[in-house]
Structure 1
């Protein structure tokens, strides 16, 4: 079904952009119509082939698959700009003397925005700093620095070499702990021998911890878990640990499958942070949950969680999809206060589908924990 939708939508974008670009006088004068439309047909055939091949494979099949998704992103952005130009010119029925200029401006804007989105998607994620006051954090832990990173989507697009550069970024922060918030892989386990040594390069005295995301379960999740464990990563799958005296770290298994079948999504949280424990221990609690579902957020706050960390949304990744994402997840990017609990939903360090971001780049979160009793 998904590939059928991509076939139809992508084909419409492609045809619209090709037709509008060829309506520009400078293009028509330089390129004969047969050559233009034969070229457009060949690109469309490559797009269709890529949709059916997909970009999950870790061999040569990634290239046509990734081309298809990237071309979809490019033609989507260009279609938006060209549509604005068409509306402004009444699709050529008014302002006829200016139609070429308006349409040319739309084409230039589309090309520029698509290039910017590609740049934002391929550049290194930025470091975003956030201070969090935690109600029950002991004064001795005031100033503790934790790094959170989500949605790295290792696979055909990003391999261990890309991850090694992120390890360098993280180590430069000197965190006490590193938290991986899910979607560590695109789908399948990447199976690279360099993965484990790269992960072991992370320097964090309180450990490197991870929770599963929905993409782990699109492939062989248990193999992915094992491969990351070889690199020293410890998984929190509906369990909690004491990071330091007075500081608890909890993580729940991904709830994506339960959400798709309208099942129970809070059971894992209830098992991981029993209500009695949340009130009796008086420890500051950090919860890792890949998906920032409203029910999880509300339940976490009710159970005394001080800081909840999520990803999944990519911050919408390509505008204006951010509006659609926000309808699904009201709290979809940045920091929120939820009845005294801080929720941070990160845009993620990688991307899904087209390696494009409009407007914001990927991010790695540097969290400085603060105690309310610190001087």
Structure 2
């Protein structure tokens, strides 16, 4: 029978604008990994396996990064699952522990990125050879292909469809950006720590209509880490006071539902997210009504709205009203992205999913400072990558 898995240590660097410092990716991993091990109160010699997530470095960069923590000869796995990479590394760690293979696994994630829009230009060669060419093809058939950042086109066109289909407004989309920028003011790890009003979000530079710059996650440098251990390890090392249970976790990839409708709403992953949430709820015996705090993949403001619907927080088409009514901020039904989310905290792809886990661990321990969600006991993380993978993780204290 599967055992239980717990996170007993987390750490992360501040997420920063690319090309602003002279630290290498292994320096970032050393900072985050050392912090996670110190949080757990253990040394690297206790670690038995190390999955390392990243997207923009060469093969075995995971070893180069992990070697800064110790040269113990343990297996290191290089993980790349697009924007869901960090949560995928965490899932591997959990599976190693729950399956009884290991008692202590360290999940790492990092990224060193270039400035500019994620995905580069929309030149025809990139379009034909991209791993998400099928996704772009569905979009192009419905909306054409413009000279704006291609990932922003996918999500911007999903926003247009949502507005046309459900009456979602530009102000409701902007409310997501305003909320998450407001939340990040109290997060010392966030790339941006400035609050903006809905009007200021709307007035920012348009990236792909209706999405403005303040509704889009920036490229970022950063690293994050989590120590995942067995119930036996928790008991033997006296870690119950800091242990947060991984109550459930599920990953899904694209099915025909992503493409059959010809809708960008489905192409960018709402069916994957819905399926992953349902599987996680069933595995953990929990539902969205049990969740207090959520870190979800707001790569663009519209994806936060789509994810509300996929997680069962509201019916299809009602997510704009949910955010406008204040249901997803402090004083509402849930607090979503208390860290500032990807939009304001930043989005170094390989680190994002593990940074979400770190924020939830701090929230469930009651140590999140001015960001603390009162009485938080159950947290949910949602990490998604085009091409594709969606990972939903439920944490419980």
Q: TM-score, normalised by structure 1?
A: 0.29
Determine which structure has more spread, i.e. the larger CA radius of gyration.
1
Q: TM-score, normalised by structure 2?
A: 0.27
Q: Whose relative contact order is higher, 1 or 2, with alpha carbons under 8 Å and at least 6 apart? A: 2
